[in-house]
Structure 1
Amino acid sequence: MKKKLISALLCVAMVATMVAGCGSKETSGGSDSSASAASGDEKLIVFVPKVTGNSFFESANDGAQEFAKKVGKFTINYDGSATAAVADQVTIINNAITQGADGIAVSSVDATGLDEVLKKAQDAGLSVVTWDSDVTADARQIMVSQGSPEILGEFLVQLSEDALKASGKDPAKDDIKYCWHYSQATVTDQNSWHDAAEKVIAEKYPNWENVAPDNYYSEQDAEKAISVGESVLTAHDDINLIICNDSTALPGQAQAAQNLGKTVKDVAITGFATPNAMKDYCTAGIVNNWGLWDTGLQGSIACYMAYYLADGNKVTIGDKIDIPEIGEVEIVNNSEITGNDSDNVDGSGVVFLPERAEFTADNMNDYDF
């Protein structure tokens, strides 16, 4: 987890018939970081983020592209939109089908909005993997998850405890007013982490009060994350803690605090984002700590699993797969992330990442993503 991710090299010349990259509206930060066509026996995997330009997804692509070059069995077309919209992802996936891609690895912006097109992709012979954010279990084959809701919920509470202490508060004794700010009410993964964390808070900290039970949402929009963040702080001028379990909401909330002259001594702001997205806010004293996981590793595993399935391999629950350069992963039941046994369907399972990390001023420069 602590090794620095190597930035992806710019890809080589594009093959004319695939230059459209399966219909990309915008690739990572305007740079050409996607492979256009598989050569020989290589498989072509279309790697779809929720939104381009976000450091979480760009670093996932960087790691995956470098990994694919090392493995040499598949190429990756990073194909996304600057807008986090179901319609845009549907267009990208339809284009992947039309252009003859072998597999798809997608971070869905909606829990059910991609189900129909992903089932269409499977019917067309493409492997379908989700990563970061899931769809209905029978609409994909594998979900590459950063952790179970319980693991991520407990981690968010731990981050909150540390942030409150840095603000001079005692999480166990002081009356704490808090709220949540993240992307959308329809995003499965973030909702599950929120729900799991709320259970921990209810059991462990009856002295904490959620002052906005309906939550604040900024739709994975960087500018809206700032304006919503300012709304949180102006509507609740005595708030102690803001939890942002979304990599766009957290830097937006931090920027909002900076705009309004707030520091870590005024309000504890924490959640999930890449180290590079938050270093300046940490240095400026706006945030004390935050967390995440190895996004490059997650992107690499997602694309490899899409390749592995596209290459004709079948997986069942309990299978252990040795991934080159990474190691062994195990396929577990969907209920491990949904909590519902009815989601355990044939041909569908989950792979977990091995660990997560908390970032502070003491270690944030050990990471480069």
Structure 2
Amino acid sequence: MSKTITGLLASAALAAGSLATPAFAEWTGGDDLPTNPLSCDGTPLETESVAYNGGAPKDPKAPEGELRVVDVPKLVGIGYFNATSSGVAEAAGEIEGVSATTDGPAQANIDDQITLIDNYITSGVNGILYASNDPVAIAPVLRKALDAGIHVVGYDSDAEPDARQWFVNPAQFNGVAKTLIDELAQQIGEAGAFAIVTSTFTTPNQARWIAEMEAYQAKCYPEMEWLETVEAQEDNILSFKQATTLINKYGEDMDGIVGMTSVATPAAAEATTQAGLCGEMTVMGLATPNAIRPYIKSGCMEGAVLWSPVDMGYAAMHVLQAAAEGRLEPGDTSVDVGRLGTLQIINGSEVLLGDPTVFNADNVDDFDF
């Protein structure tokens, strides 16, 4: 965590008494999709083959000169999407005839994201990469891009499948859910109580992870108590405030906090540190190793779960290029993505990056993102 962010969080802690208590919205499940919890003992589930369910650009034109790609993440200015952008840039740098730029909203705002994408459609780009803030709201502008002959590939958080061609899935939702709940149970016990700090209830990947976590926890750890799920907009200060409010609200009745974003998890660790509860309350969740390293070193966290966002951005750029060149077509079961080798295609139109990694004291110094 940067000194600036740490300072802001510390200031927020000192001023906690004068800040209004964040409003809590009630978690209702995020979406209406069915869940598919993995087995408690890790036995793989049998999966059926799914036909291609993505969209297609209308009469795509071969670019005159270089392939111009814009990368529109949920927001810019945080470590996670800085890492995805560096992966996009790395891939573009090794593919001849490709240029890529990143331009996202300053906050995780779907309206701003839609406006940006719409502007790039009219500016004449050949390809759009995106990480969606809302899967339904973003779909019309992505379909507009496809209708304009622009190649569209998502990563990190999806849109409605027919609004893009391919989606680079960092890890299967039920796999992330199992890893998070298993790690949490190991740290707080199979009958512990916990709360969740997420971005928004409509953010597609987080909504799916939480829904799958709820199903897996009910199946495999039925005595575990789920206290509350709250939103924090992927904002450092709000995430800190929400975690602090949870600590004050539940006290000793809460054994742990799970962060569902790379912002929420270190902010919850900072709130726990400021409350003097390191070693007494667990903080874990999804986070980049650089953000949680100080808290692992201080003993305030045992670990966190994630994948390489650099690799995800890198894969997304290669997938878009493969689609633009006709090397990746509906019905394919795998795709070659540069230094990552061959990746599997699942669920009709998703390119699976791989299994999540648990970052802990044994390996956190081996990563730099």
Query: TM-score if structure 2 supplies the norm length?
Result: 0.79
Which residue of 1 is the match for residue 108 of structure 2?
Answer: 84
- Contact kept, 8 Å, 1:317 with 1:333, in 2: the verdict is no
Which residue of 2 is the match for residue 285 of structure 1?
Answer: 299
Give the match's secondary structure for 2:120: helix
How many equivalent pairs are there?
306
Select 1:202's aligned residue among 199, 213, 218.
218
Select 2:263's aligned residue among 235, 248, 260.
248
Does residue 328 in structure 1 map to residue 342 in structure 2? yes
Select 2:290's aligned residue among 273, 276, 287.
276
Does residue 99 in structure 1 map to residue 113 in structure 2? no
What amino acid maps onto 1:49 in structure 2? P
Select 1:179's aligned residue among 183, 186, 195.
195
Structure 1 residues not aligned, in runs of 5+: 1-38, 165-170, 335-348
Which residue of 2 is the match for residue 64 of structure 1?
Answer: 88
Query: Deviation at 1:84?
Result: 0.7
- Contact kept, 8 Å, 2:261 with 2:286, in 1: the verdict is yes
Query: Deviation at 1:177?
Result: 1.1
What amino acid maps onto 2:130 in structure 1? V
Matched residues in 2 for 1:194 and 1:364: separation?
A: 25
Give the match's secondary structure for 1:317: coil
Query: Deviation at 1:313?
Result: 4.8
- Contact kept, 8 Å, 2:142 with 2:152, in 1: the verdict is yes
Deviation digits for residues 215-247 of structure 1, max 9, x if unmatched? 111011121111111111111112102111211
Which residue of 1 is the match for residue 158 of structure 2?
Answer: 134
Select 1:110's aligned residue among 129, 134, 144.
134
Query: TM-score if structure 1 supplies the norm length?
Result: 0.79
Matched residues in 1 for 2:301 and 2:328: separation?
A: 45
- Contact kept, 8 Å, 1:71 with 1:324, in 2: the verdict is no
What amino acid maps onto 2:267 in structure 1? G
Give the match's secondary structure for 1:125: coil
Matched residues in 2 for 1:217 and 1:140: separation?
A: 27
- Contact kept, 8 Å, 1:43 with 1:311, in 2: the verdict is no
Query: Deviation at 1:286?
Result: 1.8
Give the match's secondary structure for 1:156: helix
Which residue of 1 is the match for residue 58 of structure 2?
Answer: none
Which residue of 2 is the match for residue 233 of structure 1?
Answer: 247
Matched residues in 2 for 1:226 and 1:123: separation?
A: 42
- Contact kept, 8 Å, 1:318 with 1:332, in 2: the verdict is no
Structure 2 residues not aligned, in runs of 5+: 1-62
Give the match's secondary structure for 1:242: strand
Does residue 267 in structure 1 map to residue 281 in structure 2? yes
Query: Deviation at 1:198?
Result: 1.5
Matched residues in 2 for 1:44 and 1:179: separation?
A: 43
Matched residues in 2 for 1:122 and 1:43: separation?
A: 16
The 1:159–1:53 alpha-carbon spacing in structure 2 relative to 1, beyond 3 Å, is: farther
Query: Deviation at 1:111?
Result: 1.9
Query: Deviation at 1:314?
Result: 5.2
- Contact kept, 8 Å, 1:316 with 1:331, in 2: the verdict is no
Matched residues in 2 for 1:258 and 1:317: separation?
A: 50
- Which deviates further from its counterpart, 356-365 or 311-320? 311-320
Give the match's secondary structure for 2:316: helix
Matched residues in 2 for 1:222 and 1:51: separation?
A: 13
Which residue of 1 is the match for residue 208 of structure 2?
Answer: 192
Matched residues in 1 for 2:120 and 2:326: separation?
A: 19
What amino acid maps onto 1:199 in structure 2? A
Does residue 258 in structure 1 map to residue 273 in structure 2? yes
The 1:55–1:163 alpha-carbon spacing in structure 2 relative to 1, beyond 3 Å, is: farther
CA RMSD of aligned residues (A): 1.7
Give the match's secondary structure for 1:84: coil
After TM superposition, list the pairs within 5 Å mapping 1:328-347 onto structure 2.
328-334=342-348
Select 1:75's aligned residue among 72, 95, 99.
99
What amino acid maps onto 2:218 in structure 1? A
Query: Deviation at 1:57?
Result: 0.8
Query: Deviation at 1:254?
Result: 1.2
Select 1:295's aligned residue among 309, 315, 329.
309
Matched residues in 2 for 1:65 and 1:318: separation?
A: 26
- Contact kept, 8 Å, 1:181 with 1:244, in 2: the verdict is yes
Query: Deviation at 1:160?
Result: 1.0
Matched residues in 2 for 1:266 and 1:317: separation?
A: 51
- Contact kept, 8 Å, 1:201 with 1:208, in 2: the verdict is yes
Does residue 54 in structure 1 map to residue 78 in structure 2? yes
Which residue of 2 is the match for residue 45 of structure 1?
Answer: 69
- Which deviates further from its counterpart, 245-254 or 304-313? 304-313
- Contact kept, 8 Å, 1:47 with 1:77, in 2: the verdict is yes
The 1:63–1:191 alpha-carbon spacing in structure 2 relative to 1, beyond 3 Å, is: same
- Contact kept, 8 Å, 1:317 with 1:332, in 2: the verdict is no
